[in-house]
Structure 1
Amino acid sequence: MPLADNLLRLRVTDGKTIEEIADGAKLPPALVASIEEGRRSVPVKALKALAAYFGVSVETLTR
């Protein structure tokens, strides 16, 4: 799952916890964790928030 893998890679590279990412992207930690684990589909709003947090495009995050 490219999104889950990319999210994990970006988070670990930045040395952040799921809670820190969730707080920075203004998303619930449970949502960020489930996306990273590939357990759920991702709302567009969450994709945009995560991409903005990491400073990448949605396309980069999802491929």
Structure 2
Amino acid sequence: MGFHSQKPIHPTIRKCMQHLDVIQADDKTKQIVYMYMETLIRESNIVAASEQEPAESQIHN
């Protein structure tokens, strides 16, 4: 599970990787799952940030 060792792994991704280890998934499968989960987290963070922007701009007006 040596993906992106320079930054912390999201707890959900870590748990998923552990499950992939249990079912003895190959490294290519682990890499694909990790990539998609990272993308989902990144996109959900972008959506959450964009939903907060209108509220913050109303406060400053």
Q: Name the TM-score, length of structure 1 as normaliser.
A: 0.34
Q: Normalising to structure 2: TM-score of the pair? A: 0.35
